[in-house]
C-alpha cells in the first residue's frame, strides 16, 4: 500500500485501509520499544517541531519520545514561552519557525481547524496532536492499536465511550476510527454533553450508563473537565459521579472479558475509581506504551520518504 | 450641441411598472426622459445595450462600509466602488462603526464623505440606542433631520424589551423603519457556525437557529403591540420564515431580508475551516435554504440585501474561533441571485430584480428603484450571457473575504449609471 499523505489531520478523512496500514506499521515500531537499544536511525537529519499551545504532558512526551527513538532533531515550543502572547498569530509563528528549515510540525491547539490552516499554508507535514474538540488522530490510532492487540480484532466489537462527548476530540476521532473498522459504537453521557446529531456519525446514544454498558466488550471513559459545572452543563460534579462514574456493579453488566480504557489523565474517583483504573480489566497503561509506537509509525510514514 | 445619454436596444426590465421590453431609454439632465422603441433624439453619449438587460440601479439596504473607524477594512470610497461594480446605485450603511452613528454630526459626516469620495448614493442608518449599547434611545428625531434613513443596532439585538418597545413607538412619528438584528446572544454564546451535525463533526461551538427565532418572536410581538414598522435583517432559518409569514398574515407591519450567501451555501460546505465561511447568522442547513427560497416566492421575505462585511486578510487568516464574522457581498450579489434564484426558477427575473430595487425602496420610502420618466436615472445594465470567475485581485472592495472565490458566476454588470452619469464600466 502507498501511504502518500503530507499531513495527518484527522481520522475522518482516512480510509479503513490507511488506518490498518498505520496500525500494521506501528507493530514493527512497538517491537523496537522492547529492545535494549530503543533507537533507530529512520529520521536522522529530519527536524520535528512540537508546537503546543495547550498544556499536555502525556501526548507531548509521547511524541517527543517517538521522535527521539526515530533519531529526529526536535524543537519544542509551548504557549507559555511563546510569542503568541505578544500578538503573533499562529500562522506567523509557524512561518517563522519554518524559515529555520524544519520538516514537520506537531500541533496541539485549542481551536478546531488550526492544523488544517497550517497544512493549507505550509509545504511541510502537519500532525494534529489535538485541535479543540475536533480531532486527536494519534490518540484514536493508539486506542485502536491497543484494542486490536488485546482483542485480536475490532470488527463486531461493542464499544461504549462515556462522558463529555460534546467537548471531546478523543471521542470524535475514535468514533470515526472504530466505525470505519466495523465496531458498534455507543456514546453515553448527560444530554447536555452529547453533541447534536452525533448519531449521524454512526453511533447509538445512551443517557443511562447501565444501558450503555450492557454487553459491551470495551468501555472508554473520558475525562470530565471541572469547568463544565460552571458553564451550566452539569448541576454538580458530585451529581455527575452518581450517574456516570464507573463501578464494579455497573461493569458487571458488560461482557466478562470487558476492557477499560481512558485517554488520560484520569480524574481518579470521578470517571472511575482507582480500583478499576489499576485493576485487571484496565488497559490504560498499555494505551500509553502503544502511543509511542503509533506515533513513531505516523512520523515515519509522513516523513521518511519526503 | 446635442445633450443626453441614449441606451439603445436593451431589454428594459422595470418591476414597478411591470415593463419588460426591448426598447431605448433616453436620459437628460440626470433624469429618464423617455422610454420607447427606436427613440430618435439627438444625444451626446450612446450605449449599445443589445443583448443586455437594463434594470433600475440596485439598492442594498444592508452594508458595512466601516467608516469611520475601520478604514483598513473598507472606506466609503472603496465600498461604493465595490457597490458600483456590483450594479448597486444606492447602499444603506450600518452604524456599527467606531464611533457608532448615534449623533447627527456623524450622519452628516457619512454624507460628506459620500459626496466627496463616494461613487454611489450612500444613505446612513443610525443607531437605535446611544453608543449601540442598548440602554438609552439615540436622538432619533435629530438623526432623521440630519438624514438618517432607518435605525438599527445591527450586530447587536436590543435585548431590553421595554426599550425596544419605546423605540418602535417613537419612530412612528418619524415614519422610518427599525431594522432589527435578531440574535439572542445567551443562546449564540461562543458559537461560530450553525449548530447541528456539522458543528458536531468539526468540534466547533454551534449557534442554534433558536438564537434568531427567539429574538424574531419577541420583535414581532412588539411590532404588533406598537403597530410600528419593523424590518428584520438577514433572516436565516426555516422557522424564522414561518414566524414572519404568520405575522404578515395577521397584519403586523413587518418586512424582511435575506442575503445572497445564505441562499447559496449551507453548513455542509464548512469542511476545511475556511474562515471566509464564518458569518453571522451562520450558514444554515439545506432545509433552511429551501424555505428561504420559498419565502421569496410568497413574499414573506421582501428584500435581498448583502450584509457586505469587509474584513482584512490578517483578520481572516486567524483561526476559526478568532477570525471575525462576515463576508463581502456587493460585487457578487446580482450574479448569485441569478444563479440561486432565477436559474433555479425560484423567481422570474422580474420578481428577483424587484427584491433588489423597488422593494427596498418602498421599505425605505425613497424615490428610487424604478426606471420611470422624470425620475432620477439610476440604471444598471448587465450581460446575462456572460459568466465570470470570482477572483480575489479583481475586487474593488478593500477586502476580499468572499466565500465565493473561485466560483464561476453568471451575469456580468457592464454599466452602472447614476443620474445619467456612468460610474462603472466593466473592462470588456
Question: For position A87, what pLDDT does the model report?
Answer: 63
Contact call for residues A134 and A10 (beta carbons, < 8 A): yes
Distance from CA of A45 to the nearest CA of B (A): 31
> Is pLDDT of B428 > 90?
no
> Nearest Cβ partner of B203 from A117, A134, A196?
A134
Does the distance separating the beta carbons of B317 and A197 come in below 8 Å?
A: no
Number of CB atoms found within 10 A of residue B62's CB: 28
CA of B271: how far to CAs of A202, A304, B276, in Å?
18, 29, 12
CATH architecture of A137-283: 3-Layer(aba) Sandwich (3.40)
Taking Cα atoms as reference points, which of A109, A139, A172 lies closest to residue A295?
A: A139
Altogether, the residues listed in chain B come to a count of 428
DSSP for B127-144 reads -SBGGG-SSSB--HHHHH
> Nearest Cβ partner of B203 from A90, A91, A133?
A133
Report chain A's mean pLDDT, rounded to a whole number.
Answer: 94
> Tens digit of pLDDT for each residue in A220-235?
999 998 777 778 899 9
Pick the residue from chain A with its C-alpha nearest to B317. Answer: A91
Q: Which three cell numbers stand for residue B324?
A: 471575525
Question: For position A71, what pLDDT does the model report?
Answer: 97
| Average pLDDT of span B276-286 | 98
Question: For position A101, what pLDDT does the model report?
Answer: 95
Q: Which three cell numbers stand for residue A124?
A: 511541510
Question: For position A84, what pLDDT does the model report?
Answer: 55
The DSSP bridge partners found for residue B122 are: B91
Select which of B48, B307, B367, B383 is catalytic: B307
Pick the residue from chain B with its C-alpha nearest to A12. Answer: B201
Contact call for residues A191 and A249 (beta carbons, < 8 A): no
Pick the residue from chain A with its C-alpha nearest to B200. Answer: A195
> Tens digit of pLDDT for each residue in B359-406?
999 999 999 999 999 999 999 999 999 999 999 999 999 999 999 999
B chain contacts of residue A116, beta-carbon cutoff 8 Å = 272-273
> Is pLDDT of B127 > 90?
yes
| Average pLDDT of span B324-347 | 98
> Is pLDDT of B342 > 70?
yes
| Average pLDDT of span A297-305 | 95
**In chain A, what percentage of residues exceed pLDDT 70?**
97
Give the confidence band of B344 by pLDDT, cuts at 50, 70, 90: very high
What pTM was computed for the model?
0.94
Does the distance separating the beta carbons of A12 and B200 come in below 8 Å?
A: no
| Average pLDDT of span B328-346 | 98
Question: For position B146, what pLDDT does the model report?
Answer: 98
Question: For position A85, what pLDDT does the model report?
Answer: 55
Alpha helices, H only, chain A: 16-32, 58-69, 90-98, 114-121, 137-151, 169-180, 209-213, 237-244, 248-251, 274-277, 284-303
> Is pLDDT of A83 > 90?
no
Ramachandran sector of residue A136 (left: φ over 0; alpha: ψ -120 to 50; beta: rest): beta
Same fold yes or no, A16-133+288-303 and A137-283 = yes
> Is pLDDT of B1 > 90?
no
Question: For position B325, what pLDDT does the model report?
Answer: 98
B chain contacts of residue A171, beta-carbon cutoff 8 Å = none
> Tens digit of pLDDT for each residue in B17-43?
999 999 999 999 999 999 999 999 999
Question: For position A298, what pLDDT does the model report?
Answer: 98
> Is pLDDT of B235 > 60?
yes
Report chain B's mean pLDDT, rounded to a whole number.
Answer: 97
Active site residue B307: yes
Q: Which three cell numbers stand for residue B86?
A: 456590483
Q: Which three cell numbers stand for residue B420?
A: 445619467
Does the distance separating the beta carbons of A197 and B319 come in below 8 Å?
A: no
Question: For position A70, what pLDDT does the model report?
Answer: 97
**In chain B, what percentage of residues exceed pLDDT 70?**
100
A chain contacts of residue B204, beta-carbon cutoff 8 Å = 112-113, 132-134
Taking Cα atoms as reference points, which of B121, B282, B268 lies closest to residue B210?
A: B282
A chain contacts of residue B197, beta-carbon cutoff 8 Å = 196-197, 200
Give the confidence band of A2 by pLDDT, cuts at 50, 70, 90: confident
User: What's the fold here for domain A16-133+288-303?
Assistant: Rossmann fold (3.40.50)
B chain contacts of residue A187, beta-carbon cutoff 8 Å = none
Q: Give dist(CA B327, CA B57) in Å, integer.
A: 22
How many CA atoms does the CB half-sphere of B343 hold within 13 Å? 14
Question: For position A86, what pLDDT does the model report?
Answer: 57
Question: For position A226, what pLDDT does the model report?
Answer: 75
| Average pLDDT of span B43-51 | 97
Domain map of chain A by residue range? 16-133+288-303, 137-283
Q: Give dist(CA A23, CA A32) in Å, integer.
A: 15
Q: Give dist(CA A244, CA A250) in Å, integer.
A: 10
DSSP B34: E
> Tens digit of pLDDT for each residue in B66-102?
999 999 999 999 999 999 999 999 999 999 999 999 9
Distance from CA of A2 to the nearest CA of B (A): 24
**In chain A, what percentage of residues exceed pLDDT 90?**
87
Taking Cα atoms as reference points, which of A165, A123, A167, A119 lies closest to residue A10?
A: A119
Residues 6+ apart with CB under 8 A from A123: none
Q: Give dist(CA B16, CA B357) in Å, integer.
A: 9
Domains in chain B and their CATH numbers? 5-54+375-425 (2.30.40.10), 57-364 (3.20.20.140)
Does the distance separating the beta carbons of A112 and B204 come in below 8 Å?
A: yes
Question: For position A80, what pLDDT does the model report?
Answer: 61
Show contacts of B105-111: CB within 8 Å, 24+ apart: B105/B146, B106/B68, B107/B143, B107/B146, B107/B147, B107/B148, B108/B146, B108/B147, B109/B68, B110/B67, B110/B76, B111/B147
Distance from CA of A128 to the nearest CA of B (A): 14
Give the confidence band of A81 by pLDDT, cuts at 50, 70, 90: very low
The secondary structure of B344-407, three-state, reads: CCCCCHHHHHHCCCHHHHHHHCCCCCCCCCCCECCEEEEEEEEEEECCHHHCCCCCCCCCCCCC
Amino acid at each position: 500500500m502507498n501511504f502518500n499523505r503530507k499531513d495527518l489531520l484527522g481520522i475522518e478523512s482516512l480510509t479503513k485501509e490507511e488506518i490498518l496500514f498505520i496500525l500494521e506499521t506501528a507493530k514493527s515500531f512497538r517491537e523496537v520499544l522492547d529492545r535494549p537499544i530503543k533507537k533507530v536511525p529512520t529520521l536522522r537529519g529530519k527536524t520535528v517541531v512540537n508546537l503546543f499551545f495547550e498544556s499536555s504532558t502525556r501526548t507531548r512526551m509521547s511524541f517527543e519520545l517517538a521522535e527521539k527513538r526515530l533519531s529526529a532533531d526536535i524543537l519544542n515550543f509551548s504557549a507559555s514561552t511563546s510569542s503568541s502572547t505578544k500578538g503573533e498569530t499562529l500562522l506567523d509563528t509557524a512561518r517563522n519557525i519554518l524559515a529555520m528549515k524544519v520538516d514537520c510540525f506537531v500541533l496541539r491547539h485549542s481551536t478546531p481547524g488550526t492544523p488544517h490552516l497550517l497544512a493549507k499554508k505550509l509545504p511541510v507535514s502537519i500532525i494534529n496532536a489535538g485541535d479543540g474538540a475536533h480531532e486527536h488522530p494519534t490518540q484514536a490510532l493508539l486506542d485502536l492499536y491497543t484494542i486490536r492487540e488485546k482483542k485480536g480484532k475490532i470488527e463486531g466489537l461493542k464499544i461504549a465511550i462515556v462522558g463529555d462527548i460534546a467537548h471531546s476530540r478523543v471521542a470524535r476521532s475514535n468514533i470515526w476510527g472504530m466505525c470505519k473498522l466495523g465496531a458498534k459504537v455507543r456514546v453515553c453521557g448527560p444530554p447536555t454533553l452529547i453533541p447534536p446529531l452525533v448519531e449521524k456519525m454512526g453511533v447509538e446514544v445512551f443517557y443511562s450508563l447501565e444501558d450503555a454498558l450492557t454487553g459491551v466488550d470495551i468501555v472508554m471513559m473520558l475525562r470530565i473537565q471541572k469547568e463544565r459545572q460552571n458553564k451550566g452543563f452539569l448541576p454538580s460534579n458530585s451529581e455527575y459521579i452518581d450517574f456516570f462514574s464507573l463501578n464494579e456493579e455497573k461493569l458487571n453488566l458488560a461482557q466478562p472479558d470487558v476492557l477499560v480504557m481512558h485517554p488520560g489523565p484520569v480524574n481518579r474517583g470521578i470517571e472511575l475509581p482507582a480500583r478499576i483504573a489499576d485493576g485487571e480489566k484496565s488497559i490504560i497503561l498499555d494505551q500509553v506504551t502503544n502511543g509511542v509506537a503509533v506515533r513513531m509509525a505516523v512520523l515515519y510514514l509522513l516523513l521518511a520518504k519526503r | 450641441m446635442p445633450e443626453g445619454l441614449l441606451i439603445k436596444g436593451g431589454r428594459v426590465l422595470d418591476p414597478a411598472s411591470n415593463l419588460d421590453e426591448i426598447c431605448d431609454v433616453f436620459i437628460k439632465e440626470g433624469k429618464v426622459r423617455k422610454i420607447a422603441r427606436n427613440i430618435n433624439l439627438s444625444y451626446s453619449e450612446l450605449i449599445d445595450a443589445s443583448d443586455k438587460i437594463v434594470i433600475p440601479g440596485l439598492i442594498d439596504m444592508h452594508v458595512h462600509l466601516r467608516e469611520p473607524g475601520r478604514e483598513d477594512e473598507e472606506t466609503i470610497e472603496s465600498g461604493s466602488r465595490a457597490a458600483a461594480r456590483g450594479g448597486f446605485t444606492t447602499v444603506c450603511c450600518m452604524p456599527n462603526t467606531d464611533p457608532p452613528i448615534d449623533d447627527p454630526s456623524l450622519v452628516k459626516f457619512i454624507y460628506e464623505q459620500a459626496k466627496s469620495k463616494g461613487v454611489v448614493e450612500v444613505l446612513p442608518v443610525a443607531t437605535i440606542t446611544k453608543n449601540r449599547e442598548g440602554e438609552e434611545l439615540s436622538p432619533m428625531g435629530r438623526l432623521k433631520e440630519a438624514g438618517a434613513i432607518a435605525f438599527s443596532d445591527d450586530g447587536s439585538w436590543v435585548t431590553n424589551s421595554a426599550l425596544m418597545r419605546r423605540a418602535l413607538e417613537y419612530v412612528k412619528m418619524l415614519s422610518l423603519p427599525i431594522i432589527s438584528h435578531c440574535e439572542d446572544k445567551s443562546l449564540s454564546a461562543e458559537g461560530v457556525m450553525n449548530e447541528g451535525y456539522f458543528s458536531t463533526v468539526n468540534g466547533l461551538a454551534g449557534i442554534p437557529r433558536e438564537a434568531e427565532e427567539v429574538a424574531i418572536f419577541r420583535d414581532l410581538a412588539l411590532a404588533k403591540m406598537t403597530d410600528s414598522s419593523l424590518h428584520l435583517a438577514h433572516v436565516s432559518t426555516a422557522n424564522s420564515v414561518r414566524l414572519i409569514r404568520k405575522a404578515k398574515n395577521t397584519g403586523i407591519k413587518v418586512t424582511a431580508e435575506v442575503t445572497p450567501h445564505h441562499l447559496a451555501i449551507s453548513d455542509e460546505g464548512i469542511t476545511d475551516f475556511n474562515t471566509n465561511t464564518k458569518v453571522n447568522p451562520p450558514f444554515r442547513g439545506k432545509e433552511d435554504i429551501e424555505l428561504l427560497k420559498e419565502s421569496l416566492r410568497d413574499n414573506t421575505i421582501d428584500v435581498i440585501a448583502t450584509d457586505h462585511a469587509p474584513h482584512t486578510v490578517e483578520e481572516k487568516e486567524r483561526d476559526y474561533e478568532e477570525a471575525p464574522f462576515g463576508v463581502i457581498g456587493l460585487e457578487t450579489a446580482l450574479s448569485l441571485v441569478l444563479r440561486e434564484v432565477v436559474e433555479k426558477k425560484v423567481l422570474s427575473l422580474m420578481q428577483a430584480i424587484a427584491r433588489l430595487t423597488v422593494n427596498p425602496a418602498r421599505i425605505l420610502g425613497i424615490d428610487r428603484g424604478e426606471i420611470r420618466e422624470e425620475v432620477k436615472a439610476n440604471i444598471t445594465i448587465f450581460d446575462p450571457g456572460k459568466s465570470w470567475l470570482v477572483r480575489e485581485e479583481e475586487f474593488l472592495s478593500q477586502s476580499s473575504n468572499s466565500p465565493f472565490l473561485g466560483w464561476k458566476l453568471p451575469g456580468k454588470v457592464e454599466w452602472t449609471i447614476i443620474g445619467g452619469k456612468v460610474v462603472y464600466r466593466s473592462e470588456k
